[in-house]
Amino acid sequence: MDANTCIRTKRDSREYKDEPISEETLQRILQAGRMAGSSKNTQPWHFIVLRDDARKAELAKCGDFAKHVPAAPLVIAVVLSPGGGAFDAGRAAQNMMLAAWAEGITSCPVAMHHADCASNVLGLPDDYQTAIVISFGYPESEASLHRGIPRNALADLVHQEQW
C-alpha cells in the first residue's frame, strides 16, 4: 500500500485476532520506529517487546484505559532515555503503527497513567520513562477498525493565514 493510502486508512483498534505476528514482521515494525526522526538526531528511544500474556496483563494495570492490552498478540513499549522528548517518542510510535498497518496489522497507542507501575513492570533503569505503549494485532473485524465514526472534514480543520 502506498504511504498516502496507509496514512488515510489507518485506524486504531482494540480488538485483535488470536494470531501471532511473525518475527520478520516484528523486525520491520521495530526498524520503522528506529528510523523515525528526532530532535537533533538524539534517537532517545528504546523499544521493549512484550508477547508474554502475564507480562502484558501486568503492564495493562499501569494504564487507566489499557484493558485491551493483554488481548494483543504483540505489545511494544516506547521508552525514553533521560532528557528524551515525548514528540520524538510519538514520531517513532507513529512510524511503527504505520509500518504495521501497511502489513494489515492494526494497533492502538495507550498511555501509562501510573508511570512508576510501568517502570517496575518493564524493569526500567532510573531516569528512563515509558512514553507510550502500543498494542498490535490483526484486526478482529472490519467494524473494529472504525466503529462507524467518521473523520472530521478537512474543511472544518484548516485555516489559512489566521483563524
- Establish if 133 belongs to a structural domain: yes
- Report which of residues 6 and 93 the model is more confident about: 93
Report H helices in 14-125.
23-34, 53-60, 86-101, 115-122
Residue 74 inside a domain? The answer is yes
- pTM (predicted TM-score): 0.92
Whether residue 163 lies inside any domain: the answer is: no
Residue 162 lies in a domain: no
Residue 161 in domain: no
CA distance 13 to 18: 14
Does residue 148 belong to any structural domain of this protein?
A: yes
Q: Which cell goes with 102?
A: 501497511
CATH number of the domain at 67, please: 3.40.109.10
Helix axes 23-34, 86-101, angle to 10 degrees: 140
pLDDT digits (tens, 9 = 90+) for 61-90: 999 999 999 999 999 999 999 999 999 999
For 35, the domain range is 3-156
Instruction: Please give the Cα distance from 59 to 68 (Å, whole number).
Output: 11
Q: pLDDT tens digits, residue range 100-142?
A: 999 999 999 999 999 999 999 999 999 999 999 999 999 987 6
Question: What mean pLDDT value characterizes the chain?
Answer: 93
Q: Is residue 127 part of a domain?
A: yes
What is the predicted pLDDT for the residue at 39? 95
Instruction: Tell me how many domains the chain contains.
Output: 1
